Amino acid sequence: MLQVYLVRHGETEWNAARRIQGQSDSPLTAKGLYQARQVAERVRNEGITHVITSDLGRTRHTAQIIADACGCEVINEPRLRELHMGVLEERILDGLTEQEEVWRKQMVDGSPKGRIPEGETMTELAARMRAALDSCLDLPEGSKPLLVSHGIALGCLISTILGLPAYAERRLRLRNCSLSRVDHQQSAWLASGWIVETAGDVSHLELPALDELQR
Q: Is 8 annotated as a binding residue?
A: yes
Nearest to 50 by CA among 82, 10, 4: 4
Q: Is 84 annotated as a binding residue?
A: yes
Q: Is 9 annotated as a binding residue?
A: yes
Q: Is 20 annotated as a binding residue?
A: no
Catalytic hit among 77, 82, 89, 212:
82
Q: Which long-range contacts (CB under 8 A, 24 or more apart) does 194-202 make?
A: 194/133, 194/161, 195/161, 196/158, 196/161, 196/162, 197/3, 199/158, 199/172, 199/174, 200/172, 200/173, 200/174, 200/175, 202/175, 202/177, 202/178
Q: Is 11 annotated as a binding residue?
A: yes
| Count of all residues that appear for the chain in the document | 215
Active site residue 82: yes
Q: Is 171 annotated as a binding residue?
A: no
User: Alpha-carbon distance 105 to 114, whole Å?
Assistant: 9
Q: Is 79 annotated as a binding residue?
A: no
Catalytic hit among 9, 50, 61, 150:
9
Per-residue DSSP letters for 109-172?
Answer: TT-TT---TTS--HHHHHHHHHHHHHGGGGSPTT--EEEEE-HHHHHHHHHHHTT--TTS----
Nearest to 55 by CA among 37, 36, 81: 81
Q: Is 21 annotated as a binding residue?
A: yes
Q: Is 44 annotated as a binding residue?
A: no
Active site residue 197: no
Q: Is 10 annotated as a binding residue?
A: yes
Q: Is 104 annotated as a binding residue?
A: no
Q: Is 92 annotated as a binding residue?
A: no
According to DSSP, the residues that pair with 179 across neighbouring strands are: 7, 201
Residues identified as active-site: 9, 82
Binding site per annotation, positions: 8-15, 21-22, 58, 60, 82-85, 151-152
Binding site per annotation, positions for substrate: 8-15, 21-22, 58, 60, 82-85, 151-152
